[in-house]
Structure 1
Amino acid sequence: MTAILGAVNASGAEADAAWVEFVARVWPVAHRYRVLLALRRGEYGEAIHSLLGPVDELLAGIVERGQAGEVFARHLPAGLLSQVAYGVVFAIADGDLSNGTLGARAATITSLLMLGVPEARAIALVDDRP
């Protein structure tokens, strides 16, 4: 995930478009990482926090950039807001395992909404992605 985020950050895209790209690229492997996120709250939390630290920092950086550019909301600090939006992606991935009806589109739009992106803009960003 660090490599994905590094590439997304290097693209120079606006923060909301970078978030869309991140979700699109991580979605195919989201089922692998959802277990790590669940274990993060358990007895192995400290070790997993240190393992995911670089990912957390890169995500917070995208959100900070979005907040500075007034693309993302400021109702939470960037680090926490990125974790909330990131968590939504994996919650949808977890719920989508059984029936596969929601998918990356739902995860991307929902996470953008959590970041404070207006619905029309979130839908346009997802629908305009090649």
Structure 2
Amino acid sequence: MSSATFFQIQSFLILSLMIYGVTQSKKRQKHVKIMSGAMIWDVILILQIELSRSAIDKAMEVFQSQTALKIHLFFAVSSVLLYIAMVISGRMILKGNSSFIKKHRYLGITTLAFRILTFITSFYAASKVVL
């Protein structure tokens, strides 16, 4: 199995875990564990990709590079930044500040959408298709 296939399988599993985690939002502790695990695994996946492919070096060339990679990079970086916002708003909710629930929900929808788009665009970026 190629490393690209291995990374895609992990990415699919992470996305599946996130979707499952969203369905468990009413069970707060279970939701927190699932989503935390998915986000940590996703960051570990990014590190795996970087260590095996020097992805950051390739991303530095993105401004002279293909459109598909630029789009993928936008969604991937945005997803990680949204993870930070999700953790902050989630922690506020866990501390009892229910005013963050609506913001957390909207951030969650956006984060999941960006993660799905990261997954989809990863196929284009990996295959070097120019959009």
State the TM bucket, normalised to the shorter chain: 0.3 to 0.5
Higher Cα Rg, which structure = 2
Structure 1 or 2: more helix by fraction: 2
